[in-house]
Structure 1
Amino acid sequence: MTGQGAPHPSRGPSVTFLPDGTTHIVDLHVPLPTSISAAAADMIRLRNRMPDPTNGLTAPIEIERKFYDEAQAILEAQLLAIYAVSVEDVVVGGVPGRLVTPHGHTARPTGPMLINLHGGAFKLGSRSIAEAVPIAARTGVPVLAVDYRLAPEHAYPAAVDDAIAVYRSLLETRTAQGIAIYGSSAGAVLAAETVIAARQLGLPMPAAIGFFSGTADFARTGDTEALFGVIGFAPRVTAVLDQAYGYLAAAMLTDSVVSPTYADLRGFPPTLCMSGTRDFFLSGTCNFHRSLLHAGVDARLVVFDAMPHVHWTKYPDLPETVEALDLQAAFLMNYIEV
């Protein structure tokens, strides 16, 4: 038997199966896979030595936002140094946002447009363009990063209403086939919710959807929600419903907009679903993909080995990030009319 380094000792986990179906794992050893890039392996080693960021989930929302916004500002500066784009503040449909335009291109009133709905558990990420900059640069199409209202001050359906207002406004001068909507984490959820809400309002469907690490079913938990935190394996795992509590508030979890899995998905736009094997939303992403396939939707699924939640929004230099962003951009451009 050949391989890299000495084999790991045989240390099977101590597993207890409880009568209610719960599996209790006491001692689990998961070595770094050799299938990932060296840079990704270094990222995981470094991340495992850092404090668990989920401890901040109990902090006041002002503190949580301050920490998140400072990290986003650093990431934004990195991205603007890498990619040739311009950024301007805009208001579309009465909703603030930031328009990211690739150098050499102009955002035409009738031209194609990508709508980005940022992540951040519905409560963080104000003015974020971390997901918009790389896609604008790769596609050559302007990206409107929507600064939708955040929870807990504004619970559901505020964010959906904002996304619909933006989409409706763009439709005044553009065809639906010239518009695609995408987002990561909460933004993925919101993208799917916006499509269902748009259909209920009689609006035409956008050309494509990017559903990057989300869930379409808040009424039922997925397996990976019990296994992983925001950094993958973590000392503490916070339930998805707890993270999204302020957004969901008094919402009915089986409502077809809140949880699009319960909607009639026939006619849903072509959708790219993306996640990682150490992502707490891996189950949610895969389950939605399967629901789309059952409805006859052109749906694709890409899962990255060993990657944590939305790695493409956190680690700009990883080969896995470059690959993820290339796939996202190519998929959206395959369907949008330019």
Structure 2
Amino acid sequence: MTRPAKGASRMLRAIVALLAFLQGSPSIHAQDTPPPQVRVEDDGTVHVPAMTVPVSVMLSPEAKRYVADHLKAMQNPQQVRQNNGVPVFMEPYLAEAKSTFAYAMTERRLGGVRVFDYAPKAGIAPKNARRVLINLHGGGFMGCFPACAELESIPVAALGHVRVVSVDYRQGPAYRFPAASEDVAQVYRELLKTYPAANIGIYGCSAGGMLTGMATAWFQKHALPRPGAVGIFCAGLTTSANGFGGDADYMTAAVGEARPAPKWPPSADAPWTSLPYFAGADPRDPLVSPGSSDEVLRQFPPTLIITATRGFELSSAVRTHSRMVALGVDADLHVWEGLFHGFFYKPNMPESREAYDVILKFFDKHLGQ
């Protein structure tokens, strides 16, 4: 009997070992069971089977931990409750901001409205001596003052060496639209006595991003001069019964906020928004939804829009930007990968610092000297 050559023998053993490995491989056995199928209805509605979504590999290590912590916090009712306007899960972010940045805050009233007036301890930069930013804080028109105001204002004031005035506007359920727009207009009128309109920027996150657009539309209706630039962050200028509208109502809430998508189709009795502040308001009114009027949008100043791929405002932000561009508005859209609604509230995360840099460069470019 002829014995196989040594080389052939080694090859045979390698093949046997490979076959044994493949027979025991879970991935091979998985092929025996077909994966769940995506089902598509005639009207285009897509039924997506359960799936696993890991944290994006494109994030910094700090952001990966932040996403996991945020999703866990959103599942804990105790973490989202507020203590004197500070959600529990934001307490460490607020402590981080206050220990990181050197700033001074003065509580005062402008135009009869309470504001927190921030300035960098190092002093306002000469180029910003005749500039001011107005911050309109987030919180669903139901709180988060001062927490959201501080997290949106402190880093910008300190890093940008610029004055930031955060408005404690009236909110629901005690107040309804248009109370907040009226308060912003009062503060704006008072600041116009000191600053040219072209040197005033307005920005906000979430409800504050919505209010930035609403206030800009309010200024148009009441013949107030157009501000130099605005920032619509964590928001867009459209709304729906479930959020800001579009695909994001159904595609980002789970991976960004750890909550299930709303039922489809929505109830015919569902209000256009569940926020008490808007009770009785007309969603077609451009003072409520500026994105509903091309005439209003066309008159917007340079606009910066910031969102993230897991932000439930993503679709509205994209839609707002594309419509503005089509209407000839100078609009910039920045989308952060793998992050969620209001992601830049954690001040020392690399992606937050990137966002602050974008904000400051935008206002520096567009505000008058």
How far off is 1:135 after superposition? 0.6
Call closer, same or farther: CA 1:172–1:223 in 2, change over 3 Å.
same
Name which of 243, 247, 252 aligns with 1:228.
252
Q: 1:42 aligns to what? A: 65
Q: 2:291 aligns to what? A: 261
In structure 2, give the amino acid aligned to 1:282. Answer: L
In structure 1, give the amino acid aligned to 2:248. Answer: T
In structure 2, give the amino acid aligned to 1:146. Answer: V
Deviations 1:175-231 (A, max 9, x none): 101100000111110001111110111111111111112121125721111223387
Deviations 1:292-334 (A, max 9, x none): 1111011011101111111002x22221111011111111111
- Work out the CA distance in 2 between the residues paired with 1:111 and 1:260: 29
How far off is 1:140 after superposition? 1.0
Contact 2:78–2:88 (CA under 8 A) maintained in structure 1: no
Contact 1:112–1:174 (CA under 8 A) maintained in structure 2: yes
**Matched position secondary structure for 1:214:** coil
Q: 2:275 aligns to what? A: 245
| Structure having the larger proportion of residues in helix | 2
**Matched position secondary structure for 2:365:** helix
- Work out the CA distance in 2 between the residues paired with 1:45 and 1:72: 15
Q: 2:182 aligns to what? A: 161
Call closer, same or farther: CA 1:37–1:243 in 2, change over 3 Å.
farther
How far off is 1:48 after superposition? 4.2
Q: 1:328 aligns to what? A: 359
Name which of 294, 314, 317 aligns with 2:348.
317
Q: 1:99 aligns to what? A: 117
Unaligned 5+ residue runs, structure 1? 1-6
Q: 1:116 aligns to what? A: 135
- Work out the CA distance in 2 between the residues paired with 1:311 and 1:217: 20
TM-score between the two structures when normalised by the length of structure 2: 0.80
Q: 1:300 aligns to what? A: 332
Deviations 1:73-116 (A, max 9, x none): 543332121111101101011110100101132699x8311000
TM-score between the two structures when normalised by the length of structure 1: 0.87
Name which of 39, 49, 56 aligns with 1:33.
56
Unaligned 5+ residue runs, structure 2? 1-26, 264-269
Q: 2:172 aligns to what? A: 151
**Matched position secondary structure for 1:122:** coil
**Matched position secondary structure for 2:177:** coil
- Work out the CA distance in 2 between the residues paired with 1:180 and 1:282: 23
Call closer, same or farther: CA 1:125–1:194 in 2, change over 3 Å.
same
Residue 173 (structure 1) aligned with residue 216 (structure 2) = no
Residue 205 (structure 1) aligned with residue 226 (structure 2) = yes
Call closer, same or farther: CA 1:144–1:244 in 2, change over 3 Å.
farther
Call closer, same or farther: CA 1:233–1:163 in 2, change over 3 Å.
closer
How far off is 1:18 after superposition? 3.5
How far off is 1:20 after superposition? 4.6
Larger Cα-atom Rg: 2
Residue 126 (structure 1) aligned with residue 145 (structure 2) = yes
Name which of 73, 95, 100 aligns with 1:77.
95
Contact 2:124–2:161 (CA under 8 A) maintained in structure 1: no
- Work out the CA distance in 1 between the residues paired with 2:46 and 2:205: 30
- Work out the CA distance in 1 between the residues paired with 2:175 and 2:164: 24
How far off is 1:155 after superposition? 1.2
Call closer, same or farther: CA 1:218–1:45 in 2, change over 3 Å.
closer
In structure 2, give the amino acid aligned to 1:121. Answer: G
Contact 1:215–1:284 (CA under 8 A) maintained in structure 2: yes
- Work out the CA distance in 2 between the residues paired with 1:238 and 1:29: 19
Alpha-carbon RMSD: 2.9
Q: 2:310 aligns to what? A: 278
- Work out the CA distance in 1 between the residues paired with 2:122 and 2:103: 9
Deviations 1:114-138 (A, max 9, x none): 0000001111212331100011112
In structure 2, give the amino acid aligned to 1:22. Answer: T
**Matched position secondary structure for 2:104:** strand
**Matched position secondary structure for 2:151:** coil
Contact 1:223–1:283 (CA under 8 A) maintained in structure 2: yes
- Work out the CA distance in 2 between the residues paired with 1:267 and 1:24: 40
**Matched position secondary structure for 2:39:** strand
Contact 1:214–1:285 (CA under 8 A) maintained in structure 2: yes
**Matched position secondary structure for 2:150:** coil
